[in-house]
Structures are given as structure tokens and as C-alpha cells.
Structure 1
Amino acid sequence: MLTIVLLATVIQPGKINAAFDLEAESAILVDAKTGKILFQKNIDAILPTASMTKMMSEYLILEAINEGKIFWDQEVPISDFVRTLSLHTALSNVPLRQDATYTVEQLYQSVAIYSANASTIALAELIAGSETQFVKMMNDKAAELGLEDYEFVNTTGLNNSDLQGNHPDGTGENAENMMSARATAKLAFHLINDYPEVLETASIPTMDFIAGPEERIEMRNWNWMLSGIEPQHDYEGIDGLKTGYTSAAGNAFTGTAERNGMRFISVVMRTNTRDDRFNETKKLLDHGFNNFTHVELVEAGFIPEGFEQIPVVAGKEREVGISSIEALSTVVRSGEDELYSTELSLNESQLNEDGELEAPFEAGTQVGTLALVYNGDEDEEFLYASQRAEVPVVTDVAVEKAGWFAMAMRAVGGFFSGIWNGVAEMVKGWFS
């Protein structure tokens, strides 16, 4: 791509800085639509993730459902180890019996609402045959999603030492899952965008789990920011996503909330208490909702100034108009609308060495892209570099190839035009 020009006047008002710090070792706030990073603190430190790990397990469960590999009403076998682990009451669990039947949906609900560890392993065994194989799937999916800073050693987020000697093959007996806040936010971004139905379950405050005949367990969501669980933490618009705690990880939380069509993702890692992880999340989300809005900065059909037409070679027309086919929008900090300009990049592979588009071509042929460029004091950053706002620029009309006679006449005209220009220059030289 050949970058042609920066467009629009740039005005730089004073930059608004986040007037707060967080009592967390690492934290990030991201716009869930564009992937733009709106706040960051130590986001590349690789830390234990505890049960936030289960977001990857949920991703693979929902992927298996969507691909028809498993089904919501399918019964899930309960292995001896899963049965034993489910009775470990010091961990987050619902008791599972081998003389009862449980569906994929029931166990998934216990994972998403109550962070049930044994249920997570039971589903992993169903999908992959063993937790060892499921962990391989987790690491492979992390690579596919471009998480970069991660290591999955089990499906739950527990320390391997809690797995009673049954930790996945090839992992250390005291190993723990690790990710950076940036990688955790990437995982959450993919989870809620690829499988938005995850929020239907993650947002349920309480639900009963039927463990067996006359054995009903109340599952209270560990996300206390949902309405009605711990009223002091109620937060408007919150509907997910996943808490976590181990002694090494401290208290962590990946949250997401939506208001007025705008959704944010937050991650806090290594806070001191359960209350702290929600208090710090509130600060992050308030920062987002109070200071940012989604704005359409360039409407569809924008014609870059100075490039209203590009030259055409071998066509019935000598020029063709170009314009963007979609609007350009992004999440913008309050007062910074004018800090954005547009950048037109034409695709060199579509043009000849003279910058001409060769006929014939159809209307709507893409010839480049139009991108938003932020001109503030700091660099604009996204979870992925490819998330910068840009839209295709296309030809407005079709241009047919000119016939041989028209091309011949143009050549003749060009020949005599060249002679005339030469004579004019010679005559001009006589009198200079």
C-alpha cells in the first residue's frame, strides 16, 4: 500500500489524563468493539490468572457447541477423579455423582456462574478425551488468537498442586496458569465477540444446581457487581465475565459492562481482597463511561480532497472517481474529536508505474483504504495492530476498455500534441 496523503485540519486541545491509579499490580480497560486500549497499567507483566483461565475453557466449550461436536442436552460422564475433586469443598465446586446424570448445559452453567472446577474438567474430558489434551487445545487456541503472553497448564486456573496428583501430563506439579493483562483482555475480547451468548449465562446472579435426587445446590455468582448479590458492588450494565483467586494470583477479575450501546472490557490482576477487585473494576469502567464515546468521524462516501479522480489508462474514460464505502468511527475521548485526520493509502498493485488504474474494471473495485489517524500527544494503541479504523476506497463507476480506434486516435493526438508543444517551446525560446 502506498500512503498518499494526510487529510483534515488537526487541532490539539489539552489532553485529558486519567486522574486515578489502581490498587492492582496490573490493569487494562479496552473498548469491546474496536479493541482500543483506554487505560493501562503494567499490562505486559505475566501473572497467575487463577479462574480467569476458565474463559479459555468456556471459549472451547462454546466452539465445540457451535461446531456440533457436543450438544447442550448431551450427558457428560463423571470420571473417578472428577467425582473426588468435586467433593473438595475448599475449592469452588458443585458435588457430582456417578449415579446421576448431568448435561453439558448443566455443567457449563456451573462453570460460568459458580466457577466449578470439577465441572470444567468433566467438560474438558468430554471434548478432548483428557484434560491433558484439552490443555493442548487451550495453548493452540491461544496461539491462534494471538494472545502471546500466556501458559496454560490446566483447565481450571487452580494450582496444579490442588489437583491431587492428577495434573495434566507434561506440566509441573506446582505450576499455575499465567497470562498478562493484555493477553487476558484479548481472550475476553474474542470470547464476547465470537460467542456473545457467553454473557447470557455469565450474567445470572444465582441458580440452583441439581446434584442428585433431593440434592439442590445454590450457585451464587462470584461476580458481585451483578445486581442483588452484594448490593454495595452493584454496577449498572455489568453482565460478566470471570473472577479468579489463588494465593499466588491474589484476587483478579475480568469484567465487562454495556451502557447506551457502548461496551468495555476491564481486567484487574493481583488486588488484595475480593472487594478490591470490584472496587478497582468500578474505577476502570467509570473512567470509560465518563470519558469516552463512540463517534462517527467520517461519513460513508467520503471523497479524499485532491483525489476526487484518479487517472485511467486504456479506458473509455480518462479518469474515475473514488470514495469510501463505509463510515469511519471509533471510540473517542471527550473533547478530542478534532484530533483525528484521515489517511488515504492506494494499492500499488492496482496501479501502473504512472499511478494510473488500467481499464477495464467494475464499479466498486477497491483501489485502497481510508484510515483514521490519531494526532494526540500519545500513541493510540489497540489490542491488535490490525484494529486501526479503516475502510475500503473503491471506484464509483465502471470503466470499459477503450477500442483500438479510440486508442489509435489518442496516440495520434498525443503525437501532434507533442509536436505542437515542441514548436511552442522553440518559439518561446526565440523571444526569451
Structure 2
Amino acid sequence: MKKSVLTIAAASLLPLLLVAPAAADSHDDKPKGKSKSASKKQPNPPAAMSTIGGSLLGRAGTQVTLGKGAPVLPKGLSGRSWIVADAENGDVLAAHNAHWRLPPASTLKMLFADTLLPKLPKATTHKVSAEELEDVGPGSSLVGVKEDLSYSVHDLWLGVFLRSGNDAVHVLSAMNGGFDKTVQDMQAHAEELQALDTQVVSPDGYDAAGQVSSAYDLTLIARSGMQKKDFREYASTVSADFPGEMDGRKRETFEIQNTNRLLTGDYGIAPYKGVAGVKNGNTTHAGATFTGVAERNGKVLLVTVMNPDSGESNAVYKETAELFDWGFAASGKVTPVGELVAPRSAPVKDVGKAGPAKNEHGVGDTAGNGNGTGNGTGTGNAADQVASAGRKETSGGMGTALAIAGGALIALAAAVFVVNRRWPSPRG
């Protein structure tokens, strides 16, 4: 009798154990069914958010100012936070809860890479110790780094960008002086970029208490990263051979593929024409997150989408593609609702009393309707407008001129996208 009761109890608990979520970062390379989260009551954005980049960006809800001939935003967007920005001049074309602090998942690896890439020569080799892999979170996405084997920094970065490998992140962190130092370095770099919504706790983006970022910050970080040649090349690599076990004196290799489905096309998602990176992520608390960069007819856009809750499979990729389509069609037909600010150290022309880009008023406000969608003309105070004009003249938001030159995706090979960037010379 007791055995029967225990058997029935165990059987009733088994489904609950099977569906219990793991607080770990997935590879995000397997198709996911419809999420049950869409039926749950979703949290509201905070009433007060940062206004870095413009006062409209601190408002809850959708911010967009449509001009003549501008298309309306796609219907059914469910991301808790998203942003569409011009990568060249830094204009924010539209945004939704841009500064809402949310768990970033593996999109935080963009900040990890932007911080450490300049510090670690990619030809350097390193023999991995067991201690370097001890604290990799259970259920983490892994590329397959093994202790007592040597890897080049180049190999490890391929593991970070293509497979979102937390094992590779931990080894690179050890090479940088350790986990805690890497967290400190990343936090300092985020502050330099003025990504002030970002709080780093774990370099790999693994769910951790207090670890947050925002669509605005992730877009700033991606824009900074895409100005580095190695970052661009890793982010646009479709597949690569990764070192495996030793077979006698010969080192075996195995193929790894990028988990960015807009780049590779997979599980019902077609490759997005012109996409050149950047990074996807998915954890229990963050949901699906994605930041992408794409070019069309000489125009380069950045789009970030955080935690869509439509319940549709691949929603983060589909909504990103829709926002790219809208941004390319709307470019030149909308009044920007904000800007991507320059790093603190960027040269800024002295314009009267206007301060550098680090102040929190990037652009003049616009009149908005009741749902938070701007539909008027600039009414911000003169000081804000002058400060914005001064920044745009000298640094163009971040002073970036991005252009994607030629190339096409080749099956089982790296993407041949080349994204060149130049800083404009400071003007007198």
C-alpha cells in the first residue's frame, strides 16, 4: 500500500520536475514552442527611467514621431523593451521602454568582448585548468572547452561569439586576471560608454541577482563593439572549426555554428538580408534577447529587442526583422526621438554652456499623445537643443560612420561582411 502511494505521488510530481525552468543560459539553437508567459500578467515598466540620449527615451511606452510618408510601426510587437537606431549618426528612430533595466542574458557577452578583445592578443595560447571551469553555471551554454588542453585566444572568442560558450568566457576571464577583475573591467567600460543602466555581476550573462541592462545600453555596447575589426569578424562568422580532443599526436576539430538565426537561418527563420551580427541570448529570467546590425542601400541600423512575450516561437528574431524593415523604410521620414550618446572620453566641441554628451538631455522633447507616442514638433529647452546639436556636429552621437561593403554568406563559411568605421576629426 505504501509503495503504491509513493509511486502515485512520484508520478504526479514527475511532470513538474520535467518542466521546471533552469536559471541558465541556453545555446538558443533549438526551436522553442509557444511560451506560456504570454498568458501571465506582465510587469509594467518603471514610472521613471534614465533620460540619457533624450527625455523621450525616459518615458514608458512607445516613442516615435512619424513624418510625411513614414510607415506605421509593425503591429503586434511584444518586446518589453526595444529600440531602432541609425548606426551612423546615432539617431534613435523609435523606441519602446528604452531604458527599462532588464536581465540581458548572453547579449551581455557583447560588453565582455568589447572590454577584453583589445587586451588579449588572439594568437596567444592558454592551457585550461580545472579551476577555470569550476564556476561555470549548471545548464550553461558551452562550446566544449576541456581542461588540460590548450586553446588560442582566437579559438576561445569563436566559442564566445558562435556558441555563446560560458566555458570560453570563464577561461578568457581567468586570462584577464580573474572573474572579479573582469566584472570590474566590464562595469568600468559600461560607464565609459555611458551604458549606465547596466550592472555587471557575471561576465557571461548567466542569470544573477542584480544583473541588468537595457535596450538602449545594449545598442550602445553593440555600436562600440562593431567599431573593432575582430569584433565585427567574430560577430559575422557563420561557422568555424573548433579544437577538440587529442587523437594521438593529432588534434581533432569539430564544427560550431553561430546561434544568431538572422545570420544563419535556422528553425523556420530565414537569414535576414544584410545582417552582420551581433548577439542573441536566452535565460529563464531574461527570456529571449537580441541585438542585431544590418545594412540596406548604404544605411546601417541597429535593433535591440528584449523579452518578447507574444508566445510565438522565434519571436525575438521575427520582431527584430520587422523593426529592421520598418527602420529602413522610415529612415529620413521620422523625427528622431533621441540619440545614442558618445563615450565620456569622446571629443566634444565646446558650445557655449552646453555640457558634454554625458548629460542626460540628448535631444529636445516632442509633444506626445496619451499612449506615449510622440507626434509633435520639438519643444525642448534651448540648452538641451544646443547641447544635442553640439554633440552631433562633433561626434555624430558616437561619431561613427558605418558602412557594410559587399560580400555574401557562404554555406559553412564565415560571412564576408566588412563593417568599416571611422571617427570624424575634431572640429575647431
CA 1:373–1:270: 2 relative to 1, 3 Å:
closer
> 3-state SS of the aligned residue for 2:302?
strand
C-alpha contact (below 8 Å) 2:69/2:333 kept by paired residues: no
1:4-83 equivalent positions in 2, closer than 5 A: 14=68, 16=70, 18-21=72-75, 22-64=77-119, 70-83=120-133
Change (3 A) 1:53 1:13: closer
Aligned: 1:138 with 2:192: no
Counterpart in 1 of 2:315? 276
Aligned letter for 1:19? L
- TM-score norm. by structure 1 comes to 0.60
Larger mean Cα displacement after TM superposition, 134-143 or 94-103: 94-103
Kept after mapping to 1: 8 A contact 2:187/2:199: yes
Q: Which amino acid aligns with 1:189?
A: R
Specify whether residues 199 and 247 from structure 1 end up closer, same or farther in structure 2 by C-alpha distance, changes over 3 A only: same
Match of 2:225 among 188, 191, 199: 191
Q: What code does the residue aligned with 1:202 have?
A: A
Q: Partner of 2:324: helix, strand, or coil?
A: helix
Partner of 2:14: none
Task: State how far apart, in whole Å, the 1-side matches of 2:351 and 2:193 are.
Answer: 27
Q: Please give the per-residue CA displacement for 1:236-279, whole angstroms capped at 9, x wherever unaligned.
A: 00111011111100001011111222111110001246610100
Equivalent residues of 1:86, 1:94 under 8 A apart: no
CA distance in 1, matches of 2:325, 2:191: 32
Q: Deviations over 1:138-187 (max 9, x none)?
A: 11111111111110001000024xxxxxxxxxxxxxx2520111111111
Match for residue 91 of structure 1 among 140, 143, 148: 140
Counterparts of 2:179 and 2:154, CA distance in 1: 19
What is the aligned partner in structure 2 of residue 389 from structure 1? 392
Which residue, out of 281, 284, 299, partners 1:262? 299
Tell me the distance in 1 between the aligned counterparts of 2:85 and 2:72. Answer: 14
The residue that corresponds to 1:418 in the other structure is none
Greater per-residue strand proportion:
1
Shift of 1:229: 3.7
Q: Is the 8 A contact 2:278 2:293 kept in 1?
A: yes
Paired AA for residue 329 in structure 2 = N
Contact 2:292/2:303 (8 A) holds in 1: yes
Q: C-alpha distance in 2, partners of 1:87/1:158?
A: 7
| 2:208 is equivalent to residue 208 of structure 1 | no
Question: Hey, what's the Cα distance between the residues in 2 that align with 1:45 and 1:374?
Answer: 19
Does the C-alpha gap of structure 1 residues 378 and 267 become closer, same or farther in structure 2, counting only changes over 3 Å?
farther
Residue equivalent to 1:103: 152
**Residue type matched to 1:192 in 2?**
M
In structure 1, C-alpha distance between the alignment counterparts of 2:203 and 2:364, rounded to whole Å = 40
Structure 1 counterpart SS, 2:261 = coil
Q: In structure 1, how many angstroms separate the alpha carbons of the residues matched to 2:350 and 2:217?
A: 33
For residues 114 and 71 of structure 2, what CA distance do their matches in structure 1 show?
A: 35
Distance (whole Å) between structure 2 residues aligned to residue 137 and residue 179 of structure 1 = 16
Give secondary structure in 2 for the equivalent of 1:46.
coil
2:111 partner letter: M
Rounded to whole Å, the distance in 2 between the matches of 1:348 and 1:257 is: 37
Residues 391 and 57 of structure 1, relative CA distance in 2, 3 Å threshold: closer
- Secondary structure of 2:184 counterpart: helix
Q: Which amino acid aligns with 1:83?
A: L
SS in structure 2 of the partner of residue 213 of structure 1: strand
AA aligned opposite 1:221: N
The aligned residue for residue 288 of structure 1 is 327
1:245 aligns with 2:268: no
Contact 1:82 1:119 in 2 (8 A): no
Instruction: Summarize the Cα distance change of 1:149–1:125 in structure 2 as closer, same or farther, 3 Å threshold.
Output: same
Over aligned residues, Cα RMSD in angstroms?
Answer: 3.4
Distance 1:229 1:206, change over 3 A: farther
Q: Is the 8 A contact 1:157 1:176 kept in 2?
A: no
- Give the secondary-structure state (helix, strand or coil) at the position aligned to 2:102: strand
Which one-letter code corresponds to 2:108 in the other structure? T
C-alpha offsets along residues 262-302 of structure 1, whole Å, 9 cap, x if unaligned?
1111100012466101000001100111221xxxxxxxxxx
Q: CA deviation at 1:379?
A: 4.5
Residue 47 of structure 1: SS of its match in structure 2? coil
CA deviations 1:102-126 (Å, max 9, x no partner) are: 0100001110111100101111110
Q: Residues 85 and 289 (structure 1 numbering): CA distance in 2 closer, same or farther, change over 3 Å?
A: same
Question: What is the number of residues matched between the two proteins?
Answer: 289
Conservation of the 8 A alpha-carbon contact between 1:34 and 1:387: no
Distance 2:211 2:365 in 1: 36
For the residue of structure 2 that corresponds to 1:290, the secondary structure is helix
AA at the equivalent of 1:223: N
Counterpart-to-counterpart distance in 1, 2:191 and 2:253:
40
Partner AA of 1:188 in structure 2: A
Equivalent-residue separation in structure 2 for 1:102 and 1:91 (angstroms): 20
CA contact (8 A) 1:87 1:95 kept: no
Q: Equivalences for 1:297-316 in 2 at 5 Å?
A: none
Change (3 A) 1:84 1:380: farther
Relative contact order higher in (CA < 8 Å, ≥ 6 apart): 2
Structure 1 segments unaligned to the other structure (5+ residues): 1-11, 65-69, 161-174, 293-331, 338-344, 350-371, 393-432
SS in 2 for 1:217: strand
State the shift of 1:374 in Å.
Answer: 11
CA distance in 2, matches of 1:281, 1:107: 28
**How far off its partner does 1:227 sit?**
3.8
Separation in structure 1 between the aligned mates of residue 242 and residue 283 of structure 2, nearest angstrom: 24
Structure 2 partner of 1:420 = none
Alignment partner, residue 149 of structure 1: 197
Quick one: structure 1 residues 258 and 60, their matched pair in 2 at CA, closer, same or farther if it must change by over 3 Å? same
Rounded to whole Å, the distance in 2 between the matches of 1:224 and 1:106 is 21
1:159 equivalenced with 2:207 (yes/no) = yes
Letter in 2 for 1:199: R
CA apart distance, 1:231: 5.8
